Structure 1
Amino acid sequence: MAQQPSDSLHLHVFSMHTSPLAQPGRGDAGGMNVYIDRSLRALLALDPALTVEVFTLRTDGGPSGTDTLGERAQVHSLVLPRAVGLAKADLPAFIPDFARAVREKATREPSVLHGHYWLSGLAAREAYPHIPLVQTMHTTAAAKNARLGEGESTEPAERWEGEKQLVEEAATLVVNTKFEADQMRRYYGATDDRLCVINPGVDTSIFYPSTRVSALNTGSDTTAHLVFAGRPQPLKGPHLLVEALALLPEDLQVSLDIMGRSGGTYEQDLLERAQQLGLGQAVTLGSSVSAVELADVFRRADIVACPSSSETFGLVALEAQACGTAVIASKVDGLVEAVADGLTGILVTERTPHAWAQAIESLVRNPDFRLGLGAAGAARAGRMTWEQTARALDRIYRQLSLAQP
């Protein structure tokens, strides 16, 4: 491997089960992909002495290869023949092979490692046991198991044990919110000297409020356009929205767009359920779209809904607020910090169709309040930038790099 100048910082980012270049809202790609992509771009703009290699495992049958993520950053997509076609749940067995492939592919010895999700953290530790590791879980087994909803599966003990190991071995645990920090202390025994709270940001060059009221967002008190964006799955809760729409009074006309594809049958089941409830014309399914297109979807929506059972933060909620759209979200985990209850959106305590129907009706019937939430959300989200996230991460990387013997 090539030697790097003494004043440079070479970062290895591990994102084993999904590439930061993947389309969010499709398959396993979601908020974590956005986090890695946007934070790295901001880091590269901030620190001219930083170079990055990102490593991800390709399981879709495509070839291995290297792409770029801005200047001075390479994304290596690695292929393990025996892992082709496997699901994320099957990947723990391939951590050692992935770590070995990373070492073979890397062009430089890393100064610091950053693992995203537990699989990546264990692979990073396997590949470079003596290099400082920064770990971001994004989600944890303990938090998900504590808030299981209908149709959601319990996370395996293997995952909890892996996360526990990372909490003990990582130099720094980066968490999105104070609430997540509390979870890491409560569930995994994390200590304050290793925990660092860094809020994600929003790209306000893409997500910004409209200067006009669209044809759909009219301020009506009887009609509204509702949007769900993300991977359709029980944990994310779009089924709650379908059931809630069926409970609304007959004088309300509320449509729902579900933006994203899971790769399974879940969203098709949603459409069939909507037909059973007489909502066939009100519920539509769309594919995941680019950030620019998603921002336009948010700007044209009256309400963006985030009915997840657990979220370490909830980037969709923040991006929707940045577009000046009111948000309804579950009162759980990081969503409590992503959404200011009663100021930029409404937090729903009970994760039931009845509770969600009440929340939706309250915003539909009060358009002035709804529009006020959107305006306040845009102002608040505009102050939460990826540059702030990048500055905090860069400080951590630099401190760990300097601390090495």
Structure 2
Amino acid sequence: MKIAMVAQPYDGLLPPNQNSIGLIAYNTVLELAREADVTLFGKRPAGRGRGLDLPLDVSYVASASDDLLQFVSCYYPRWAKWLGVSEKADTYPGYVRAVARELDRKDISVVHVMNYWNWSGRLRGGHRRRRIVLEMHAEWLSQMDAAQVRTQLDQVDVLVAVSHHIANLFRAAHPAYQGKIVTAYNGVDQETFSPGQSRLAVRSDEWSILFVGRVSPEKGIHTLIEAFADIAGADDRARLWIVGSRTTLRPDFLVTISSDPLVRALSRFYGGAEGDDYQTYLDTLIRNLNLGDKVRFVGRVPHEDLPDWYRAARVVVNPSVSESFGISVVEGMACARPVVGTRVGGMLETIVDGETGRTVEPERPDLLADAILSLVANPELASAMGVKGRERVAKIFTWRARAHRLLAAYREVA
């Protein structure tokens, strides 16, 4: 069986230049390659993991037409919107055509596509026996026009959801879908993400709360900062570390298409009551709460360096308003850290409330502060939760477990 993993065209696939989906695709194909002939497809990036000895093929494709569409969409947005260029640019037509040609050349029998549901028919082409596996890391298929999505779902043999939350939303939105639906959780490398001594220089008279992820409204950073004001007021030694790129997600990727009122309310950060620049809003909030010397925006950290940040933190927090899975809390658990997350999406499946950490309602800074302080005040409980968390990761959230789940689905439909 020949398998192709088709990444998004903007994903960094090979270390050290990986984004979240690129990292998932890379670690998944490494495990799949133990038992199958695998090719990983992506767009040719700069500095792509030179010197790696991989048990699989990595096939890069490029498209000058896509580059032109992206240029026009970025630098001439009004013209691009008027001409329909922006919508076309988002589908990367040149990339998917180039991948389809390579699939034919390599005689691929199973094609695993990341997120881009509207590529399914093009990648299947005229190959009746080729199987299409579509993996969703977002709620898009439950938020798009059902009739439009259905034309592509007819080409999909297996729908892979990154959590039961995504799978259940899909079932509710598309009850007539006849293909197989599989949940395959993301994984964590337990050798890399493990308990131990951090190499970070941490002051002995301080303790830290850690957030890891994109600094964007749906991640609830504003709620975390408001909660931290109460925490810092209760304990002057507290510090907040925010690790991740300061990149605001486009509203049409989530906020404007969501049916969740809490998510739609985030429109206040996109030209609404709170302005149109989330980063400026956070900086102003920190200044108004007199937290300037206690909150640190670390920025993006190489993935291999993240374990040191987890190990140095007292508590790992994810205050998201919307979350398909919640990889940061799983990485924190792998490092034996207690975690606090919101009761949304996939985090209801990753965190066991009262056993591996605490869960609270989203957009409630008071409850978030109380949950964090309860763990800090009881170090024995926090340590026990860290141990339980690592045990849970070993049982459920490994790359090997994910690959075995996928291989079983491939074999069933092939």
1:35 Cα deviation after fit:
1.8
Q: 1:112 to 1:288 in 2, by over 3 A?
A: same
Contact 2:161 2:183 in 1 (8 A): yes
Q: 1:278-302 CA deviation, whole Å, 9 max, x = no partner? A: 0001111112222221011101111
Q: 1:267 to 1:109 in 2, by over 3 A?
A: farther
- d(CA) in 2 for partners of 1:368 and 1:213? 23
Q: 1:100 to 1:167 in 2, by over 3 A?
A: closer
Tell me the amino acid that sits aligned with residue 371 of structure 1.
S
- d(CA) in 2 for partners of 1:192 and 1:73? 32
1:320 — aligned with what? Answer: 332
Contact 1:217 1:302 in 2 (8 A): no
- d(CA) in 2 for partners of 1:113 and 1:100? 14
Q: What secondary structure is seen at the aligned counterpart in 1 of 2:234?
A: coil
2:55 — aligned with what? Answer: 71
Aligned: 1:342 with 2:354: yes
1:53 — aligned with what? Answer: 40
Q: 1:34 to 1:89 in 2, by over 3 A?
A: farther
2:226 — aligned with what? Answer: 243
1:272 Cα deviation after fit:
3.4
- d(CA) in 2 for partners of 1:109 and 1:376? 45
- d(CA) in 1 for partners of 2:245 and 2:16? 10
Aligned: 1:116 with 2:100: no
Q: 1:300 to 1:235 in 2, by over 3 A?
A: same
Q: Of 210, 216, 226, which residue of structure 2 is paired with 1:233?
A: 216
| Residues 87-98 of structure 1 aligned to structure 2 (within 5 Å) | 90=87, 94-98=91-95
Q: 1:265-285 CA deviation, whole Å, 9 max, x = no partner? A: 644542332122100011111
2:100 — aligned with what? Answer: 103
Q: Of 108, 121, 128, which residue of structure 2 is paired with 1:125?
A: 121
- d(CA) in 2 for partners of 1:299 and 1:353? 24
Larger displacement relative to structure 2 (64-73 or 176-185): 64-73
Contact 2:216 2:247 in 1 (8 A): no
2:11 — aligned with what? Answer: 18
Contact 2:182 2:409 in 1 (8 A): no
Q: Looking at both structures, which has the greater relative contact order when contacts are Cα pairs under 8 Å and sequence separation is at least 6?
A: 1
1:355 Cα deviation after fit:
2.1
Tell me the amino acid that sits aligned with residue 107 of structure 2.
E
Contact 1:122 1:162 in 2 (8 A): no
Tell me the amino acid that sits aligned with residue 83 of structure 1.
L
- d(CA) in 1 for partners of 2:390 and 2:360? 21
Q: Of 343, 346, 366, which residue of structure 2 is paired with 1:354?
A: 366
2:409 — aligned with what? Answer: 396
Percent identity reads: 24
Tell me the amino acid that sits aligned with residue 114 of structure 2.
H
1:308 Cα deviation after fit:
1.2
What number of residue pairs does the alignment pair up?
367
- d(CA) in 1 for partners of 2:15 and 2:194? 23
Larger displacement relative to structure 2 (232-241 or 81-90): 81-90
Contact 1:312 1:333 in 2 (8 A): yes
Contact 1:216 1:302 in 2 (8 A): no
- d(CA) in 2 for partners of 1:346 and 1:267? 28
Q: 1:190 to 1:341 in 2, by over 3 A?
A: farther
2:256 — aligned with what? Answer: none
1:333 Cα deviation after fit:
1.3
Larger displacement relative to structure 2 (8-17 or 169-178): 8-17
- d(CA) in 2 for partners of 1:287 and 1:122? 33
Q: 1:102 to 1:357 in 2, by over 3 A?
A: same
Tell me the amino acid that sits aligned with residue 396 of structure 1.
A
Q: 1:78-136 CA deviation, whole Å, 9 max, x = no partner? A: 2323233457975655443332222345551321111111x3x3224213333311111
1:208 — aligned with what? Answer: 194
1:21 Cα deviation after fit:
3.5
Q: 1:166 to 1:56 in 2, by over 3 A?
A: farther
Q: What secondary structure is seen at the aligned counterpart in 1 of 2:231?
A: coil
Q: Which runs of 5+ in 1 are unaligned?
A: 1-7, 146-156
Q: What secondary structure is seen at the aligned counterpart in 1 of 2:122?
A: helix
Q: Of 6, 9, 22, which residue of structure 2 is paired with 1:33?
A: 22
Q: 1:122 to 1:209 in 2, by over 3 A?
A: same
1:270 — aligned with what? Answer: 282
Q: TM-score, normalization: structure 1?
A: 0.79
1:152 — aligned with what? Answer: none
Contact 1:14 1:124 in 2 (8 A): no
Larger displacement relative to structure 2 (357-366 or 290-299): 357-366
Q: 1:375 to 1:163 in 2, by over 3 A?
A: farther
Contact 1:55 1:75 in 2 (8 A): yes
Tell me the amino acid that sits aligned with residue 372 of structure 1.
A
Between Structure 1 and Structure 2, which shows a larger proportion of helix residues?
2
Tell me the amino acid that sits aligned with residue 109 of structure 2.
S
Larger displacement relative to structure 2 (166-175 or 388-397): 166-175
Larger displacement relative to structure 2 (302-311 or 64-73): 64-73
1:165 Cα deviation after fit:
4.2
1:148 — aligned with what? Answer: none
Q: What secondary structure is seen at the aligned counterpart in 2 of 1:209?
A: coil
1:249 Cα deviation after fit:
6.3
Q: 1:256 to 1:249 in 2, by over 3 A?
A: closer
1:187 Cα deviation after fit:
2.4
- d(CA) in 1 for partners of 2:101 and 2:25? 23
Aligned: 1:258 with 2:246: no
Q: Of 306, 323, 330, which residue of structure 2 is paired with 1:294?
A: 306
1:164 Cα deviation after fit:
4.5
Q: 1:220-243 CA deviation, whole Å, 9 max, x = no partner? A: 9xx631111111111111221111
Q: What secondary structure is seen at the aligned counterpart in 2 of 1:235?
A: helix
